Amino acid sequence: MSEIAPSTTDAPILRSENLRKSFGPIEVLKGIDLDVKRGDRIAIIGGSGSGKSTLLRCLNFMELPTGGKVFLEGERIGTVRTARDGSQSVTYSERELMSVRRRVGMVFQQFNLFPHMSSIENVMEGLVTVMRRPKSEARARAAHELERVGLSDKLDVYPGRLSGGQQQRVAIARALAMDPEVLLFDEPTSSLDPELVGEVLRTILTLAEDGRTMLLVTHELGFAYRFATHVIYLYDGVVHETGTGEQIFRNPQKEKTRAFIARSSEFSL
């Protein structure tokens, strides 16, 4: 039987308890507790190696956690098995993980588009192969999502003929087409030339205005201040400080947070 998290009227849609991830002897996440409520826009900031991207990848199970629990809509992901010696382990079925990855969508640093497919074919692919939608229905949905990200004139254009910003917006449309309950962005502008960053950030802001539930890993601290309802500063695999954008960026309480904000030249209110 699946483990069910305690229910409240304001229960989180996505929740982690003591989430841990190790790669061999290196512990990257050291016990992350996180509640994501519907409509939250959470910015995750921190230095290189702090665990930001690993956290996102564990939340949608691109990486399997080493320890801890993840709940989606109150139901624990994975099945706990108890061995004869009393030790416990968690197993995951591929069917369950595919469902999680559809419900918790991810937009990566790299666009990961199929170069032999047009924009609309890239967006359609998951609808047809994963959700088994008819091609006509998938094409209509894909066209709608490409219009939403401002690419209605690029439906039949291949990735090689698109700018980096346009490719990333196709990737966002592809994630939206799967109708995820939570959308994760892992440094979505880090691979872009500076002049292309703005178009992607404007697209993300538009989604925020639509009430999307989103987690964003970013080094664009000024954008994080404007975007987020909540900010998490990760340091060495733990949540070092958390609060509103005003609290974290204007009045951080901890020395490491203050030092990080001070040396991040990208940040300006």
Could you write out the DSSP letters of every residue in 49-105? TSSHHHHHHHHTTSS--SEEEEEETTEESSEEEE-TTS-EEEE--HHHHHHHHHHEE
Q: At what angle do helices 135-148 and 164-177 cross, to 10 degrees?
A: 130
**Which amino acid, one-letter code, is at 189?**
T
Q: Which structural domains are found in the chain, ordered by start?
A: 14-117+182-263 (3.40.50.300)
Contacts of 179 (CB under 8 A, 6+ apart): none
Question: Mind listing the pLDDT tens digit for each residue in 110-161?
Answer: 889 999 999 999 999 999 999 999 999 999 999 999 999 999 999 999 999 9
Question: Mind listing the pLDDT tens digit for each residue in 250-265?
Answer: 999 999 999 999 887 5
Confidence of residue 194 (pLDDT cuts 50, 70, 90): confident
pLDDT at 228 over 80: yes
Q: What is the mean pLDDT of residues 240-255?
A: 95
- Tell me the pTM: 0.91
pLDDT at 64 over 50: yes
Q: Are 74 and 5 in contact (CB under 8 A)?
A: yes
pLDDT at 218 over 60: yes
Confidence of residue 268 (pLDDT cuts 50, 70, 90): low
